[in-house]
Amino acid sequence: MNPNSTKLTNKRVLGVAIPIVLANVTIPILGAVDTGVVGQMGLAAPIGAVGIGAIIISAIYWLFGFLRMGTTGLTAQAIGSNNHLETSALLVRGIIIGLVAGLILIVIQIPLVQWCTRVSACLSRGRGACK
């Protein structure tokens, strides 16, 4: 252990943990707020659409959680060993992975929406309607 580091206390752990917990709690709350706002319209279809959208956004958020969780541990190890070069490399790798994944999502968004629309239309007409 590094003799210059400060002592690990409950206060320090909570100082890091509470903001992380609050950040993770806010994601589902966004869907609930959206549903409440759209619910003022009095129609069922927009509420259903917002619910589906909230599920999709939450799924994408959690699918990319690997990037956040994976880089956190590696970065902590690099910082703990005073390896500033590796810390910078982890930052650059994380940014590159995030940018590439974001660009892929941007490129596939229109075909993905078209496919989902076709599937939804087929499902609403019955199982044998589309092949």
pLDDT one-digit tens code per residue, 78-125: 999 999 999 999 999 999 999 999 999 999 999 988 988 888 777 777
Is pLDDT above 60 for 1?
no
Compute the CA torsion angle 41, 43, 44, 45 (nearest 10 deg): -90
- When pLDDT is cut at 50, 70 and 90, the band that residue 5 belongs to is low
The pLDDT score that the predictor gives to residue 83 is: 94
Q: Which of 18, 29, 38, 22 is nearest to 57 (CA)?
A: 29
pLDDT in tens, 10-36: 888 888 889 888 888 887 777 778 878
State the number of CA atoms in the 13 A half-sphere of 84 facing the CB.
Answer: 0
pLDDT at residue 26 in the model: 82
Res 92: pLDDT? 95
Question: What beta strand segments (E) does the chain contain?
Answer: none
The residue-averaged pLDDT of 62-83 equals 89
Q: What is the pLDDT, as a whole number, of residue 56?
A: 83
pLDDT of amino acid 104: 94
Does the structure show a pLDDT above 60 at 53?
yes
